[in-house]
Amino acid sequence: MSINKFFFNFLTFFLFFTVTIQAQQAFVSGTIRDSLNGEILVGAVVRIASGGGAVTDLNGFYTLPVPAGTVKLRFNYSGYHADSVVLSTEVGKTIRYDLRMVGSSKQLSIVVVSSSRYAQNIFEVPVSIEVIRPKLIENKCTANLETVMDQVPGVSMTDGQANIRGGSGYSYGAGSRVLMVVDDMPLLSGDAGDVKWNYLPIENVSQVEVMKGASSTLFGSSALNGVIHFRTAYPTDKPVTTITMFSGFYDAPQRKELKWWPNTNPTFSGVNFSHARQIGNLDLVLGGHVFSDAGYRYLETEQRERINMNLRYRFKKIPGLNVGVNTNMMTTRGGLFIIWYNDQLAYIPSDSTIQNYKNNRFNIDPYINYFGPKGSKHSIRTRFFRTNNMNDTKQGSLADLYYGEYQFLHRFKNGFNFTSGLLWTHSKVNSDLYLSHTAENIAAYVQCDRKFSSRLFVTIGVRAEYFRGDSIASEYSLKLKNTDTLMTLPFRPVLRAGLTYRVGEATFLRVSYGQGYRFPSIAEKYIRTAAAGLEVYPNTNLKPESGQSAEIGIKQGVRIGNNWKGYADGSIYWMQYSDMMEFTFGQYGNPMTDPLFGLGFKSINIGSTRIRGVDFSVMGEGKVGKVGLMLLAGYTYIDPVSLRWNPAKDTLFQTSPENILKYRYRHIAKFDCEATYKKFSFGVSMRYNSRMENIDKFFEQALPGIKAYRDRFQKGDLVFDTRIIFQLTERTRISLITNNILNREYTSRPADVQPPRNFVFQALLKF
């Protein structure tokens, strides 16, 4: 039976089953909110006294099949007083019951879905998670999610690649150990396996969650170092339209020799638009984005246009059933800067040339959700994602990614939650760089969560993953210590376990362990190219990398007065990888025929590595007296080492004489605080990275100015941003944002100097 026929038959049975069930019951639906501020409560539990229940979705909405007649409902949400109601229902009819719950504890109400693929209070999650609210994204005038990710505690950005707790180095734009997830589905390109940050629809974001540590059990390959979950928004009861316009310019850099423009400073501008409304049972969200950047680096310009739409229909005659489709498309064009000319002309590209590109991206995501009787949920999610990269250097590529997943969730009355799923992914690539290739991924997973009383929460999960690249399929050798192989499996198994224990009213201890793995991207295995004098070679023998991570942590709720709530979180973490993939310099080509005597970079398995350290963060929001205060800050210490350190050999190709993995920082600190008094708000952001101690020695020896530059800047990078916001009316406000206000000169990787001070004026209209 073909896959298409299987899904058609399954869907037909699925819809017939739901129609049969609904004819025998009555239904209750409604929205649950906070009694003080009216905010929706995501993940609130609604239970029938006789058994069964439901959970509010991302809009605080629930639909619950109930027995016809008199029924008693109970409502629970962590940090709020429990509530109950007795209702009278009739067969086949739906009644509406909305509720406003009253807060009862010191906890800040934050709900995340990344840890267990369903809504949970962040205090009960057994892993470290940071949450970025849409207000921070909006107030910092974010045109690209990458800039906000660099503000997250424990996260650093290296030339477009997210690095959580030092889990990654510099990968030349290929592969990612951090999985980008949009609305519960991975969104990495089919060829390079990287994140397209400027593609993410920040004009329609409800929340961004950053889960630290191996997360392959629920999310699969590429979740080796963590997950970034981008959740789009859906409309509430009232229509909302938001228009944001911004314009800015780059100031002259501190060093006069870096300024390449003669008179007028380079400028940038853009517009974000979103409209969300409910039309009967139809939820509609429209979004758009236009951006133009003249560039602070010579010839590096960018123009992009993006449009997106979310549609969801909630069936009135089949309560609990909704179908929808999300779509996003973007075109972008400009010039790509790779390496500087030298340290005195750091904003001029090597050889004064640049790669001119035009890229198109498109995805469409049809889905079906059904909330069944007695607390069950069925979901079918699909995605088609196309990336089309075109340029003038004959390095274009066309990649198509197909994704399909079925997930079943059941919440039992005794606090036991069961999640399982099946998924299929297929990638097809045609490229000037690595010709034509295909990859296929099939997986099954199960996770069980159990809440014992109000104190102990336990989770355990397992996943089996099959991968095939072209004609080569994955294998996993099952061994016991110091023994030969017991058996060879065609799939890769991974485990996850964790627990959270509530020791006080707002104090939670946690411990977790997770395994992870990552299959090489098509680009890592097959790429053969040259850029700015750097030769990159393929490695068809590249093996998958695997890892494991563990952490012990504590989360403490904090309250100042009655209106400011937050938490402080501290953890000790440990990560260990086998067959870690890293781009490494060496002689991989033919010394007689290839450039530079065959010297260049290639992704290779460098062996076993270990990364450990401590991570601390604090988050809070609310009012202290008459002043509104929003806070996000953190510090991370990282100790990344090789477990196969050979000083005599390894120091020949790296700049540090010590055992430290390349392209990592030992110390990372982040701080963002915004205070609001009446109509005025003032915010300040800080980012600190210690010196990048170890890089490939080739950079210092072969590329002009890098060694001198690194010798000059040895104390790390400290960058500050500020923002001033004035609320003109209830619907309009204006802002002045100054990025890099001290005009600090800093790099994200060798020969890649970041923007000088720049000023942005923003106007926002919401109605």
Q: Per-residue pLDDT tens for 360-383?
A: 999 999 999 998 877 788 999 999
End-to-end Cα distance, the chain: 52
The pLDDT of residue 310 is: 96
Degrees, nearest 5: CA angle 363-369-372: 170
Confidence of residue 278 (pLDDT cuts 50, 70, 90): very high
In the prediction, which pLDDT does 301 show?
Answer: 97
- Confidence at residue 109, expressed as pLDDT on a 0 to 100 scale: 67
Check whether 23 has a pLDDT greater than 60.
no
Higher pLDDT, 675 or 41: 675
| Residue from 389, 490, 390, 392 nearest 440 by CA | 490
Q: pLDDT at position 502, please? A: 94
Quick one: CATH architecture of 3-101? Sandwich (2.60)
Q: Which part of the chain is CATH 2.40.170.20?
A: 111-234+251-290+306-766
- The 8-class DSSP code of residue 505 comes to T
User: What digits encode the pLDDT tens for the residues 289-300?
Assistant: 999 999 999 999
- Least confident range from 49-58, 69-78, 415-424, 494-503: namely 49-58
**How are beta strands 267-279 and 282-293 bridged, if at all?**
antiparallel
**Is the pLDDT assigned to residue 132 strictly greater than 60?**
yes
Residues of each domain in the chain carrying CATH 2.60.40.1120? 3-101
Average pLDDT over residues 705-730: 92
Buried b (16+ CB within 10 A) or exposed e, 389-420: bebeeebbbbbbbbbbbbbebebeeeeebbbe
Distance of CA 714 to the CA centre of its chain: 31
List pLDDT tens digits, range 453-511: 889 999 999 999 899 888 777 777 766 666 666 667 778 888 999 999 999 888 999 99
How many Å apart are CA 121 and CA 600, to the nearest integer? Answer: 48
Q: Say whether pLDDT at 21 is over 50.
A: no
| pLDDT beyond 50 at 22 | no
CA pair distance 83, 526, nearest whole angstrom: 59
Dihedral sign of CA atoms 62, 63, 64, 67 in order: positive
Q: Which residues lie below 8 Å from residue 246, measured CB to CB, with a gap of 6+?
A: 141, 143, 269, 270, 271, 760, 761, 762, 763
pLDDT of residue 318: 84
* Ramachandran class of 728: left when φ > 0, alpha when ψ lies in -120 to 50, beta otherwise: alpha
Specify the range with the lowest mean pLDDT, choosing from 280-294, 679-693, 707-721.
Answer: 707-721
Percent pLDDT > 90 in the chain is 56
pLDDT band at residue 256 under the 50/70/90 scheme = very high
Averaged over 113-129, what is the pLDDT?
A: 80
pLDDT reported for residue 443: 94
How long a stretch of residues is the chain? 767
What integer pLDDT is reported at residue 1 of this predicted model?
A: 46
- pLDDT of 656 higher than 70: yes
Domain 111-234+251-290+306-766 CATH (choose: 2.40.33.20, 2.40.170.20, 2.120.10.30, 3.40.50.300): 2.40.170.20
